[in-house]
Structure 1
Amino acid sequence: MRYVAILIAACLAWPALASPVEPVPGVPERRELLNTLRPLVENDLGAPVEFMVDQLLWEDDRAFGRVVAQRPGGGQIDIATTPMVQRDGVLPEAIDGTRVEAFFRKTSEGWQVVTYEIGTTNTWFLAYDCANYGAFMREWGC
């Protein structure tokens, strides 16, 4: 009977032990997530952009990414000439580089960006929706 209780406890704890996975280059899920984010970032920084992935985590129908946008081949993006500065009037000194944080959700139509920020000077994402995205922020106390 004691072994049955231990087995039941282990089974109940299993979902809590699950962790998000990081899709490696070449995995379709990774490509889909980055391609979902790309048009939004290109709208703000100008096209074309490619991403250097710092962190990309995926679990079930949610994902979180921290990437750095750059021009193809590793070229730097001149913030002063981007649409977010030229078109939207964002002050270049208010943008801390081209780092992007994004939250994703998968629907029946595919991956969608729930929210994202470019070049923030704070860690806004640490306080974002712990109820739904806490699995990605455990190391920061979510």
Structure 2
Amino acid sequence: MTFKFVAMAALVALPIGAMAEQVFTPERGTSLRSELMNTARPYAESVFGAPVEFVVHDLLVQGDHAYAWLTAQRPGGGQIDLTRAPAAKDIMFGVNDHTDINVFYERSGAGWQVYDWAAFATDVWWQRKDICAGWGDLLEYGCN
């Protein structure tokens, strides 16, 4: 009887593990990657001015959660002049004078939305229970 119970428990648990969603990076040119970049763009443009495109350092998706570490630049690779950016008054030049942004996305019925984001981060600002609960598997550091 014990053997049957253990065997049944193993069979029931197997599909759950097999169904766990894998972390992946959407390939360049895919609609998912474009949607994620277009969702982040207004946030970056509010800080750096328009137009921006991104250099992607990390773009990770798992189920209904995604994380991006991006560097904003002008189209064609042009450098952003931070002294002329909308957020120029908030920049501590020499400390956070870069154009990196971190974006946490969540997918809902309306598509991908920005859950939280930050520009100019110099620390692990997302080390919070809500971020670690939803996005911890996507992050190399900060939640483990």
RMSD: 2.0
Identity %: 36
Structure 2 residue aligned with 1:125:
126
Task: Return the alpha-carbon distance in structure 2 between the equivalents of residues 39 and 98 of structure 1.
Answer: 14
Helix, strand or coil for the counterpart of 1:103?
A: strand
Q: Which has the greater radius of gyration?
A: 2
Q: Is the CA contact (8 Å cut-off) linking 2:82 and 2:97 kept in structure 1? A: no
- Decide which structure has greater helix share: 1
Aligned residues: 137
Structure 1 residue aligned with 2:32:
29
Q: How does 1:1-142 map to 2 (within 5 A)?
A: 6-15=10-19, 18-85=21-88, 89-93=89-93, 94-127=95-128, 129-137=131-139, 139-140=140-141, 141-142=143-144
The Cα shift of 1:132 comes to 1.1
The Cα shift of 1:9 comes to 4.1
Ranges in structure 1 where 5+ consecutive residues have no aligned partner: none
Task: Return the alpha-carbon distance in structure 1 between the equivalents of residues 38 and 80 of structure 2.
Answer: 19
Task: Return the alpha-carbon distance in structure 2 between the equivalents of residues 25 and 81 of structure 1.
Answer: 30
Give the structure-1-normalised TM-score: 0.83
Ranges in structure 2 where 5+ consecutive residues have no aligned partner: none
The Cα shift of 1:92 comes to 3.8
The amino acid that maps onto 1:14 is A
